[in-house]
């Protein structure tokens, strides 16, 4: 029987908040969920769209972010990929579209074939360098995959996940003293978007 390492760091992970282009505010349950989880740091994997989102998240914990394909407000300030060291573990944070050429090619494939994770994996691997944890967004599909000694983690969209029958969601990463990193996806329920406003679900 293996003995689990001690918990040394908890990270909240969000992506694709899309404010104000698709929602006027963060999901009403997100901030309280992050606080309840007692996260010590937050990673935002892009498509933030406005700096006000980061200011709100920073009331909970320090935020690391990368630009997504809709992040015009962050142009020149933040890159597409960030290499981090969290609790001694190398982590690559990225949106996942990589560049505008890949984004346009993906749009064409998505229209023809729909969502396919295997389209994204080779570019995530190429951009990740030596990272053992690869955090990405862009697809709005939650992902927790262990492959070749790496964790590939997408928290889903915190603001626009109701498409394709997906609820909005966020992620939690637990870093343990033995170097293991555990990931969880948490759905955000109780509300739906209507004309970019969050409406309680009765």
- 176 touches 7 (CB < 8 A): yes
Give, as one character, the DSSP assignment of residue 19.
Answer: T
CATH code: domain 8-189 is 3.60.21.10
Give, as one character, the DSSP assignment of residue 78.
Answer: S
Both tokens assigned to 143 = 């992902």
Both tokens assigned to 144 = 């927790």
- Measured from the Cβ of residue 31, the count of other Cβ atoms closer than 10 Å reads 14
In 3-state terms, what secondary structure has residue 67? coil
At 58-101, the pLDDT tens digits run 999 999 999 998 888 887 778 899 999 999 999 999 998 876 66
Of 52-56, 113-117, 128-132, 170-174, minimum mean pLDDT range: 113-117
Q: Cα angle vertex 134, ends 190, 35, to 5°?
A: 35
Q: What is the pTM of this model?
A: 0.91
Both tokens assigned to 121 = 């994996």
Question: Would you kindly state where each structural domain of the chain is located, as residue ranges?
Answer: 8-189
Share of the chain above pLDDT 90, in %: 70
Both tokens assigned to 161 = 């996940």
At 158-189, the pLDDT tens digits run 987 545 567 899 999 999 999 999 999 999 99
Q: What is the mean pLDDT of residues 37-63?
A: 96
Share of the chain above pLDDT 70, in %: 92
């Amino acid at each position: 029987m293996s003995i689990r390492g001690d918990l040394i760091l908890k990270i909240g992970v969000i992506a694709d908040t899309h404010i104000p282009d698709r929602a006027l505010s963060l999901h009403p349950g997100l901030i309280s969920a992050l606080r309840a989880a007692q996260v010590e740091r937050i990673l935002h994997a892009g498509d933030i769209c406005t700096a006000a989102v980061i200011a709100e998240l920073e009331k909970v914990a320090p935020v690391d972010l990368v630009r997504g394909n809709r992040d015009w407000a962050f142009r020149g300030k933040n890159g597409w990929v960030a290499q981090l060291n969290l609790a001694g573990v190398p982590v690559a944070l990225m949106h996942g579209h990589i560049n505008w050429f890949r984004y346009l090619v993906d749009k064409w494939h998505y229209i023809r074939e729909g969502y396919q994770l295997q389209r994204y994996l080779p570019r995530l691997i190429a951009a990740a360098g030596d990272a053992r944890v690869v955090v990405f967004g862009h697809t709005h599909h939650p992902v927790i995959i262990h492959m070749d000694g790496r964790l590939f983690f997408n928290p889903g969209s915190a603001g626009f996940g109701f498409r394709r029958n997906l609820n909005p969601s966020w992620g939690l990463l637990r870093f343990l003293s033995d170097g293991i990193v555990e990931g969880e996806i948490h759905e955000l329920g109780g509300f739906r978007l209507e004309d970019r406003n969050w409406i309680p679900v009765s």
